[in-house]
Amino acid sequence: MSSKPITTHAPARYTATAKLLHWILALALIAAIGIGLYMVSLSFSPQRLKLYNWHKWLGVSILALSLLRLGWRLANRPPALPAAMAAKMPAWQHKAHHGTHHALYALFFLVPLLGWAYSSAAGFPIVFLGLVQLPDWVPVSPALAETIKPLHQWSAYALAGLIVLHIAAALKHQLIDRDGLLLRMLPERRG
């Protein structure tokens, strides 16, 4: 581990709204992926059906949160990397940084939309929170459902992999580089 001191001047931070949307979306994604992995291992039962509904509700919530987050990000540019930090990063890290964020945003939308399409094609409408039935946006078709199902599954695995990569990069910056980059997305300490 590096013995360099942690940077004394903190990099520019994200807005409180951006931080809140980031962490709520992160928790929803972890829950949806965890439930998704667990529910498919269960045999047909009331518990499995309940978890499928929770998974769908999380998917719809993730889609809505992603729209809010993207809208916020377009209206409020994120803080740039500090110049000294950006200068130390190799070109491949800059490309990985931007590529990972673009891929994450794409999958924030793609995974729940594929799940919704699969649910529609399989003939199982989404009734959000058991109260509001969402429209089916593809026709009921067992053949189409079987085509969409692996697309939803593999895009979810890709999203999970990118989340792990994102967390690993944040921890690398905090624990190895000790550059304070992670502080940009954490709540500010008062006092």
CATH 1.20.950.20 assigned to 16-185: yes
The domain ranges of the chain are: 16-185
Rg over CA atoms, the chain = 19
CA distance 129 to 111: 19
Question: Does an H or E element contain 46, and which?
Answer: helix 46-75
pTM: 0.87
pLDDT, one tens digit for every residue, the chain (191 residues)? 444 444 445 568 889 999 999 999 999 999 999 999 999 999 999 999 999 999 999 999 999 999 999 999 999 988 888 787 788 888 998 899 899 999 999 999 999 999 999 999 999 999 999 899 999 989 999 999 999 999 999 999 999 999 999 999 999 888 998 887 888 888 877 65
